[in-house]
Structure 1
Amino acid sequence: MEEKEIMNQKAVSRALTRLAHEIIERNEGVESVVLVGIKTRGIYLAERLASRIDEIEEQQVSVGELDITPYRDDQKKRNGDPKIIGSSLPVAIEGKTVVLVDDVLYTGRTIRAAMDALMDIGRPERIQLAVLIDRGHRELPIRPDYIGKNVPTSRQEKISVQLSEVDQTDRVVILTKSES
């Protein structure tokens, strides 16, 4: 696999700072905002956004985590309702603006699963979507509200978001199969 770095540590940091400002501006503050990261890397991005928002607004934003595994449509169907395991929301989401946070938006299926999971937990006033990378190729009518970087890709390419909490570095690379 060949890899090409498209965002280094500084670019990732700048994108998150810009996303934090956009979330504050669009919601006229963060009084009713809850950030919910989609496991795994979305959680770390949500925590970083909350930290940036706190620095800017001097107001803490609640951060939750969502495990959408039981809601994925590419998993075998199970009997009964999905169990929400590995998800934790620190506050009730009724009447709140929930900002779903994920690393890469691709087909939209992960986000659809996340919205299903959220609705089983409660009924937010609105749901917004923040992604570090939007790579296109949507299969569902889902559009992010906040985008760190648009990266047009082919379906043969893969985007790898690497975060220090998991990968010991912050960067985004495109992986392509080398022709041999």
Structure 2
Amino acid sequence: MSQKAIVLDEQAIRRALTRIAHEIIEKNKGIEDCILVGIRTRGIYIANRLAERIEQIEGTKVSVGELDITLYRDDLTVKTENQEPLVKGSDIQKDINNQKVILVDDVLYTGRTVRAALDALIDIGRPAAIQLAVLVDRGHRELPIRADFVGKNIPTSSSERIVVELKEVDEMDRVCIYEN
């Protein structure tokens, strides 16, 4: 795979997350009864960054949780044929019942990861509402799922891959398109 383009650099990611934070506050008329839940792995870091921005804007902390969807994936048998799945576990300290849960992920593609996350959330509790925030929406949905908050829409072909790199994991912030 070869890198085709850098579509978001560190500054563009920062701006996109600030905009998403403002949109979350506006749509929910504040952050009362809201909790951000990041999907492992990079969704967690994006959720934490959104929480920081929301706190800067509103002056109030918003709860952040982590969701591991490993056992909810519909491709689990394909991905783990010869090995046990690596389950890291979810960590949601706040009760999600009757809360507005903002599910956070890095890239929205087919919608299957989000579907698995919805199943995992419903097993934990019954939120008042579930919203979806993603850094990148690349299209190609296989399920009827759309994001409420999008950092950047990046139309791609099926042969392309979007790679989100974050300092917390990859030592740099950027979003790149790779081509086979």
Partner of 1:72: 73
| CA distance in 1 between partners of 2:28 and 2:71 (Å) | 30
Which residue among 155, 158, 167 is the counterpart of 1:155?
Answer: 158
For structure 1, the residue ranges without an aligned partner over 5 or more in a row are 78-83
SS at match of 1:100: strand
Alignment map for 1:136-151 (pairs within 5 Å): 136-151=139-154
Cα displacement string for residues 113-168 of structure 1 (whole angstroms, at most 9, x for unaligned residues): 00000000000000000000000000000010000000000010000000000000
TM-score normalized by the length of structure 2? 0.93
| CA distance in 2 between partners of 1:16 and 1:75 (Å) | 31
SS at match of 1:152: coil
**Residue 121 of structure 2 is aligned to residue 113 of structure 1:** no
For structure 2, the residue ranges without an aligned partner over 5 or more in a row are 79-86
- How far the C-alpha of 1:76 sits from its partner, in A, is 2.4
SS at match of 1:76: helix
Identity percentage over the alignment?
A: 62
| CA distance in 2 between partners of 1:96 and 1:142 (Å) | 20
SS at match of 1:174: strand
Alignment map for 1:20-39 (pairs within 5 Å): 20-39=21-40
- How far the C-alpha of 1:90 sits from its partner, in A, is 1.3
SS at match of 2:77: coil
| CA distance in 2 between partners of 1:10 and 1:52 (Å) | 14
Query: Runs (4+) of structure 1 moved beyond 3 Å?
Result: none
TM-score normalized by the length of structure 1? 0.93
Letter in 2 for 1:100: L
Partner of 1:61: 62
Letter in 2 for 1:76: T
Which residue among 91, 94, 111 is the counterpart of 2:94?
Answer: 91
- Aligned-residue Cα RMSD (Å) equals 1.1
Q: How many aligned positions are there?
A: 171
Alignment map for 1:4-43 (pairs within 5 Å): 4-43=5-44
Letter in 1 for 2:35: V
| CA distance in 1 between partners of 2:54 and 2:149 (Å) | 14
| CA distance in 2 between partners of 1:57 and 1:31 (Å) | 11
**Residue 174 of structure 2 is aligned to residue 166 of structure 1:** no
